[in-house]
Structure 1
Amino acid sequence: MDAITAYVGLGANLAGPAGAPLAQLAAARAHVLALPMVQGGTFSAVYWTEPFGVPDPETQPWYANQVARLEVAADTTPQVLLEVLLQIELTLGRERGAGRPALSARPLDLDLLLFGKTFLDDPACTVPHPRMQDRAFVLVPLAELAPDLILPIRGRTGEPGGLPLRDALARLAFELQGDRIRQVSPES
């Protein structure tokens, strides 16, 4: 059966049911690879990143982040894949809902970044992930898996276009030291 290549961001900066953040990522990888629609997958290395885009990053532990490249059954929709990813988050201790800040510390975060060449602007599922091109903690591990990837983006007219991943990385202000990424906010 044909497959669709999907990319998923994995992150954790709190302990959860599987243990410390690295154990949480290991458990998430096992859950993802066990999904019936996933025909295979590879994972980037884990990168440690300081919290980015939060008002007081020093109040949160650093995140363990990585990206997965998944081969997903062709009859799978982005909405279905996202729904099962959200279920994995819940299984591994993620709490969602009112009263939880959007950028709070968490035991697991799974983001659907790309789903083939699909553009989807649905309140429940937006693909490509709307902020991925602004996040070094996504693009650095993504470049490890697919250095020649062209990121699908929408131009000013709303028409689909593309941005080479290398160019997207060059636009960001960040430091990469071994397995540590520190991104400088444009407001800094």
Structure 2
Amino acid sequence: MSVIAFIGLGGNLGDVRLRLEAAIGVLAVTPGIRVTARSRFYRTPPWGNVDQPDFVNAAIAVETSLGAHALLDALLSTERAFGRVRDGERWGPRTLDLDLLAYGTAIIDDDRLAVPHPRIAERAFVLLPLADIAPDAVLPGQGRVADLLAAVDAAECFPLA
């Protein structure tokens, strides 16, 4: 059985666009994962700790036969392969960030994973790229992507050529 999942990608250190392209490539050849759609890249302001460079963000849709936690493990492994060290700092600068935004119609909230991502409805940097690939997707307990995007301020987020 396969599930459609949405993954948010971002970073703000080094050549982020090149790294995001490479990470998508790694995920595309990971057993049990098939990339089915990808968004444009967006330049977005930092969230939380604003004293850092702007981010580049994107989103992909995947069809996966992996369970939600196994998919999370694949994302974390990919982050590590690209030099990401999770040191406990929230909203800080990073080489690569891969977030499991939604996993089919599942609602999961345990010590390792929360999907749909609990703050997705507040974040233009997540919703803009997600709306590129799945504007009509309904995130369980949160609503339709296009409606969530219409409710946030995306004025400082710009698609990159």
1:60 to 30, 52, 77: 52
- Find the counterpart in structure 2 of residue 159 from structure 1: none
**Within-5 A mapping of 1:1-188:** 2-15=1-14, 20-54=15-49, 57=50, 59-73=51-65, 76-97=66-87, 100-153=88-141, 162-175=142-155, 178-179=158-159
Name segments (4+ residues, structure 1) moved above 6 Å: none
Please tell me whether Structure 1 or Structure 2 has the larger radius of gyration of its CA atoms: 1
- Structure 1 residue 143 displacement after superposition: 0.7
Deviation sequence 1:84-106 (CA, Å, 0-9, x none): 10011011011113xx4211100
- Find the counterpart in structure 2 of residue 157 from structure 1: none
Percent identity of the aligned residues? 36
- Structure 1 residue 53 displacement after superposition: 2.2
- Structure-2 separation of matches of 1:47 and 1:9: 12
Per residue, is there more strand in 1 or in 2? 1
- Structure-2 separation of matches of 1:177 and 1:136: 7
Given that 2:27 and 2:35 are in contact with CA atoms closer than 8 Å, whether structure 1 keeps it comes out as no
- Find the counterpart in structure 2 of residue 183 from structure 1: none
Question: Given residue 115 of structure 1, which amino acid in structure 2 is its aligned partner?
Answer: Y
Given that 1:33 and 1:41 are in contact with CA atoms closer than 8 Å, whether structure 2 keeps it comes out as no
User: Taking structure 2 as the reference length, what is the TM-score of the superposition?
Assistant: 0.93
Higher relative contact order structure (alpha carbons within 8 Å, sequence separation ≥ 6): 2
Give unmatched runs, 5+ long, in structure 1.
Answer: 154-161, 181-188
- Structure-2 separation of matches of 1:89 and 1:49: 20
Question: Given residue 34 of structure 1, which amino acid in structure 2 is its aligned partner?
Answer: V
Give unmatched runs, 5+ long, in structure 2.
Answer: none
- Structure 1 residue 126 displacement after superposition: 1.1
- Structure 1 residue 42 displacement after superposition: 1.7
Question: Given residue 114 of structure 1, which amino acid in structure 2 is its aligned partner?
Answer: A
Aligned length: 160
User: Taking structure 1 as the reference length, what is the TM-score of the superposition?
Assistant: 0.80
